[in-house]
Structure 1
Amino acid sequence: MDVRTKRLSYELLAEVGEGSYGKVYKARELGEKQRLLAVKKFKTEGNTSEIGIPAFMIREVALLRKMKSFNHPNIVMLLDASTVPVGTGLVLTLVMEYIDQDLSTYISKVPASGLSRDCIKDLMRQLLQGLDFLHTNMVLHRDLKPENILVSSREELKIADFGLARIYTYNIALTPGVVTLWYRAPEVLLNSVYMSSVDMWSVGCIFAELFLLKPLFTGYTEVQQLQKIFEVIGLPSEEDWPMDSPIQYSVCWGPKGFSTRLLRNLSPDDNDLLSQCLAFRPSRRISAAKALTHPFFMKH
């Protein structure tokens, strides 16, 4: 199937993914370049002239267009965007550079002996550089997880999937149901206010996963997720509990006392960076910019 736009002509090769809003295809550009492309097609039901284009669609296109002008090596590149009316609905098509695996797939292929420290360092540096760029441009990703991070065969890492991202300004209402449960920060689980530090919590979870080759916190409800978090980082003090949370503080949540060694078999530098990413209080959590200067990246 050939698709022609003013800027890009391509043929769809195979469907590679399906989400609640649409499908993702692998495609090949026609003409000289013949490069592989990722084509995301979102379909809206109902009369868009009455209900309008869904906010998440507008958001993803706007953010990717904003990011495109900077062409950051660790952010997935948007090459084309178009909308076509279909019946009373609408199909939005996003054409992006194609990368054949996400970080989840990459981790699943790692031998039991694990990733080398240099490899973990390189992936983390790229992830933090991409995130620092987003935060500098006042963008919260809000759904960082291995499935939304792409890794090329040359181990180039790119942050993708901006369906839940928001331009962060003061006084905007932020939705509580963001970030996949296993990578969700305590303040989100507690329905408290949050800011860019939610992304750094997700980075901490991903950092641990690169060592463990499996997710660190695997709760199946929000309560269970909080309990699993406190089992590792210790129960915070009542003073640190967010005052605006509708969920009451209780000593029954988990063991008290903070551990500076969150994971065994990690060096002090590794554990220090991990514990600064997984600090309970958002104000104590390390920023992406500061994390890039951490001793973890300095030593060979």
Structure 2
Amino acid sequence: MNKNKREKEFYSVDVGDSTFTVLKRYQNLRPIGSGAQGIVCSAYDHNLERNVAIKKLSRPFQNQTHAKRAYRELVLMKYVNHKNIIGLLNVFTSQKTLDEFQDVYLVMELMDANLCQVIQMELDHERLSYLLYQMLCGIKHLHSAGIIHRVCALYNIVVKSDCTLKILDFGLARTAATGLLMTPYVVTRYYRAPEVILGMGYQANVDIWSVGCILAEMVRHKILFPGRDYIDQWNKVIEQLGTPTQEFMMKLNQSVRTYVENRPRYTGYSFEKLFPDVLFPADSEHNKLKGTSLCNRCLQMWMPKCWYSVSVVFKYHHLIDTHVCRTQTTSFAILIISSAFTVSSRVWSR
């Protein structure tokens, strides 16, 4: 089949429990993952002569919320250009009119595994360092563009066999605004910052908390705060890190503050106990001290003087001190994905 035909003709194939209707250039579809935002399969792109990942968004125009998420993900993947952020190779739909329009397919680079799979292996000094460094570079680039990812977790950070790392899943990303009250239950529970759990206004620092939880899981090989629900999640946090300061309490709304203040008080564990030297690569005492210090700074966000940006966290990167993460502020009109828009799903689809 010639290239022009493959660019225009579609065919349908069952992928897991879903039917994909894709361009004929994409063959050998196989399911590789699914979630609230959609279903993902691998495929071979005959035009590019490479393997790709195709994500079918779940009911993108079912309602206004779904439509905004679909739009955010498409815009961010298209315009946020960085080597540690997944890029958009193609986007298409098989529907020919606006009245029929209901399916959106995003085509992106196919990676080999996510961090959930990677941490099952023993990571040496160099690999652990390089993965963390790339994660921070990607988040730094997002923050420089005024974007809070909000869903940083092991499952949406993906790697290739050469240890190249990329961040994906931007349907829940938001523009950053100081003190803005945002949706509280958006981050995978284990990686939620205290501000998110308690429904407070929050800033880009919530992504730093998520990085701390991810780093902790990478070195401990187990979830740091394995809450069964959002209440248990809060309890797990204060049991290990201690009851927050009164200054933090005063920022809570009255009903939440009453609950938090009535909880038993905990002193928490020292970071030396939570992250003992044996967890870190044994190359030098310097590395051990910086590893514990980095975890400390990522996970003490309720302390007013410990609200760190990615740039500050880089100073405590315990394995790669010589690299410099260069990023440019994205200048496109990021406000187009602001949650302030309240238009119908029909308008979003246009």
- SS of match in other structure, 1:177: coil
Letter matched to residue 315 of structure 2: T
1:255 is aligned to 266
TM-score by length of 1: 0.86
Q: Deviations over 1:215-259 (max 9, x none)?
A: 111001111111111122111222222523341232634412673
CA 1:299–1:21: 2 relative to 1, 3 Å: closer
Aligned partner of 2:29 among 6, 9, 13: 13
CA 1:18–1:258: 2 relative to 1, 3 Å: closer
Q: Name the Cα RMSD after superposition.
A: 2.8
1:293 is aligned to 315
Please report how far the alpha carbon of residue 36 of structure 1 lies from its aligned counterpart in structure 2 after TM superposition. 0.7
Please report how far the alpha carbon of residue 275 of structure 1 lies from its aligned counterpart in structure 2 after TM superposition. 0.7
1:154 is aligned to 162
CA 1:45–1:285: 2 relative to 1, 3 Å: closer
Is the contact between residue 79 and residue 96 of structure 1 (CA under 8 Å) also seen in structure 2?
yes
- SS of match in other structure, 2:166: strand
Q: Deviations over 1:93-143 (max 9, x none)?
A: 1000100211101112x1xxx322332211110100110011001111000
In structure 1, how many angstroms separate the alpha carbons of the residues matched to 2:167 and 2:108? Answer: 12
Q: Are 1:270 and 2:291 matched, yes or no?
A: yes
1:57 is aligned to 70
Is the contact between residue 141 and residue 164 of structure 1 (CA under 8 Å) also seen in structure 2?
yes
CA 1:299–1:138: 2 relative to 1, 3 Å: closer
Q: Are 1:22 and 2:44 matched, yes or no?
A: no
- SS of match in other structure, 1:297: coil
- SS of match in other structure, 2:131: helix
In structure 1, how many angstroms separate the alpha carbons of the residues matched to 2:37 and 2:241? Answer: 36
Is the contact between residue 133 and residue 317 of structure 2 (CA under 8 Å) also seen in structure 1?
no
1:96 is aligned to 108
In structure 1, how many angstroms separate the alpha carbons of the residues matched to 2:60 and 2:317? Answer: 51
In structure 1, how many angstroms separate the alpha carbons of the residues matched to 2:154 and 2:317? Answer: 24
- SS of match in other structure, 2:143: helix
- SS of match in other structure, 1:240: helix
CA 1:286–1:297: 2 relative to 1, 3 Å: farther
Decide which moves more: 140-149 or 263-272. Answer: 263-272
TM-score by length of 2: 0.75
Is the contact between residue 187 and residue 242 of structure 1 (CA under 8 Å) also seen in structure 2?
no
Letter matched to residue 247 of structure 1: V
Q: Are 1:34 and 2:54 matched, yes or no?
A: no
In structure 2, how many angstroms separate the alpha carbons of the residues matched to 1:180 and 1:196? Answer: 16
- SS of match in other structure, 1:236: coil
Extract unaligned runs of 5+ from structure 2: 10-22, 281-287, 323-350
Percent of aligned positions that are identical: 31
2:93 is aligned to 83
Count of matched residue positions in the alignment of Structure 1 and Structure 2? 289
CA 1:296–1:126: 2 relative to 1, 3 Å: same
In structure 1, how many angstroms separate the alpha carbons of the residues matched to 2:265 and 2:199? Answer: 19
Q: Are 1:73 and 2:83 matched, yes or no?
A: yes
Letter matched to residue 7 of structure 2: R
In structure 1, how many angstroms separate the alpha carbons of the residues matched to 2:92 and 2:250? Answer: 43
- Higher-Rg structure is 2
1:214 is aligned to 222
Please report how far the alpha carbon of residue 298 of structure 1 lies from its aligned counterpart in structure 2 after TM superposition. 5.0
CA 1:63–1:256: 2 relative to 1, 3 Å: same
Q: Deviations over 1:162-181 (max 9, x none)?
A: 11111224575521111010
Is the contact between residue 47 and residue 88 of structure 1 (CA under 8 Å) also seen in structure 2?
no
Q: Are 1:44 and 2:53 matched, yes or no?
A: no
Please report how far the alpha carbon of residue 193 of structure 1 lies from its aligned counterpart in structure 2 after TM superposition. 0.5
Please report how far the alpha carbon of residue 161 of structure 1 lies from its aligned counterpart in structure 2 after TM superposition. 0.8
CA 1:54–1:98: 2 relative to 1, 3 Å: same
